Copies of this chain bind each other. A is one copy, B any other.
Amino acid sequence: MTVLLVEDEANIINLVKAIFKSVDYHLVVAGSGREAVSLVASHPPDIVLLDLGLPDQDGLDVLGRIREFSSVPVIVVSAREQEREKVRAFDLGADDYITKPFGSSEFLARIRTALRHANFRHNVDVLMTQAVNIGNLLIDFEKRVVSLNGEPVHLTPIEYKIVSLMSKNIGKTLTHDYILREIWGPYENDNQALRVNMANIRRKIEKNPAQPEYIVTEVGVGYRMADF
């Protein structure tokens, strides 16, 4: 069982090490957000403990970057009690949010619970790879680049998220609601923005946007990335 701790303060690192003495988890420490993301990509841990007080970037951005290509369970650890931050963490895909100071046995119990949840997820996770080919289209999740016939295609952040989401569900029809929730969060429910983005994406990746090959419309339901 490998645990990735994203933390820069030495005393917290030591505290966690002490807690883990009793339970035989293998602990890996990342001192920065950048290091954390690349470690999750190169050596996927079983669970991530993410402290929000990082030196190089906002901890929640790190969570977002991780969630672009991995569904590893992430427990956010923070000294901040602000509700808005908690909500944002959960909606970005955090599995739990613990505020410091915390008791060691509760800490371990929450880790066990997150791992229990993750067991059910594993099936889905296997499908997550670093890159996907669809016809002449290549989506590289790790590099965060989409290219058509070898030529890189420039996509805006939202466009990339949509293409990425569709690519992770090749052949599946994704409903409007599902896409909206995944891209804009749980509150959005207006298709218009999605339609505009689809039009823009198609202009960039389809030979004939009026008769799309890659992302086809399922009228009244949603969109589907074709499987070639």
A residues sitting closer than 8 Å to B (CB atoms) are: 83-84, 86-87, 90-91, 94-96, 103, 105-106, 108-110, 112-113, 117, 120-121, 123-124, 127, 142-145, 156-157, 171-173, 186, 218-221, 224
Contact = CB atoms under 8 A, between A and B. Distances in A.
Report copies per complex: 2
Nearest to A110: B90
Contacts of A123: 123-124, 127
Contacts of A87: 105-106, 108-109
A90 B103 contact: no
A145 B157 contact: no
Q: 8 shortest A-B CB distances, which residue pairs?
A: A144-B173, A90-B109, A157-B220, A83-B103, A87-B109, A120-B121, A117-B117, A143-B172
Contact of A145 (B105, B144, B171, B220): B171
Contacts of A145: 171, 173, 224
Contacts of A220: 156-157
Contacts of A157: 219-221
A173 B145 CA distance: 8
Give the one of A108, A120, A224 with max B CB within 10 A: A120
A84 B108 CA distance: 12
A112 B173 CA distance: 23
A112 B120 CA distance: 17
Given A87-B105, A90-B113, A96-B96, 7 more contacts: A84-B105, A87-B106, A117-B117, A123-B123, A143-B172, A144-B172, A144-B218
